[in-house]
Amino acid sequence: MKDELLLHICCGPCSIYPVEVLKEKGINFKGLFYNPNIHPFLEFERRVQALEEITEVLGFEVIYHPSGYGLHQWLEGVWSKCPNRPGRCHMCYKMRLEETARISKELGFTCFSSTLLYSIYQDHDAIREIGNGVARTHGLKFYYEDFRAGWKEGKDRARTIGIYTQPYCGCILSEEERYKKRIERQRKRFREEVRKGP
């Protein structure tokens, strides 16, 4: 039977539970790794490696977007237009879902989805709305399922398998926001040292 669904995958750990659910439901699918939001390059490489390990364990196929590392693409398409949350995140969702839909249409898939729907940190209402809008534009269906029910299960499984689990969504701005308190402490220490003088 032909593959029906193209699953946008943002990272290895986030794919575990959604992939198992799709398999359980008998939905034919392939994964797509397209994430120009992931920076820096070493982080991008680590996530690709983690996903490759997961595909071997769970036995499914992934298409890797030919653009590879998309720093300039993401900066031009998202950060330059809207550097702040939540607008930045919504534009990032749209960028990735739009490309997933385009490739779905090109390869003959009837619908698409995303492992973004697994994360408890993402805006599900926005993802669903953007996904449905993009699907209409391309004459496809957006498969929505709230995969958050398996959040803990997926995280535990990733630890058991021993793959890399990332500490931030991928964009360099989100990494900065994650470590905001630590950065502020460093700035405070630096200012105090400057005041003390040599």
Report domain extents, the chain. Answer: 5-196
Residue 185 has pLDDT above 80, yes or no: no
- Which residues have C-beta within 8 Å of that of residue 111, sequence separation ≥ 6? 4, 5, 6, 104, 135, 140, 141, 142, 143
Average pLDDT (17-29) is 97
Say how far apart CA 4 and CA 137 lie, in whole Å: 18
- Encoded tokens for 32: 């797509």
Percentage of the residues of the chain whose pLDDT score is greater than 70: 89
pLDDT over 70 at 180, yes or no: no
For 41-55, write each residue's pLDDT tens digit: 999 999 999 999 999
- Can you give the pLDDT at residue 150? 96
Pairing of strands 62-64, 29-33: parallel
pLDDT of residue 33: 98
Helix, strand, or coil (residue 3): coil
CA gap 148, 14 in Å, rounded: 10
**Element at 58 (helix H, strand E):** helix 41-58
Give the pLDDT confidence of 159-169 residue by residue, as tens digits.
999 999 887 77
CATH code that applies to domain 5-196: 3.40.50.620
pTM: 0.87
Q: Which helix (H) or strand (E) holds 37?
A: none
Would you place residue 179 in the very low, low, confident or very high pLDDT band (cuts 50, 70, 90)? low
Q: What is the mean pLDDT of the chain?
A: 90
Measure the CA angle with vertex 116, ends 139 and 63; round to 5°.
Answer: 65
The first and second tokens of residue 27, run together, are: 């939905």
Q: For residues 74 and 171, is the Cβ–Cβ distance under 8 A? A: yes
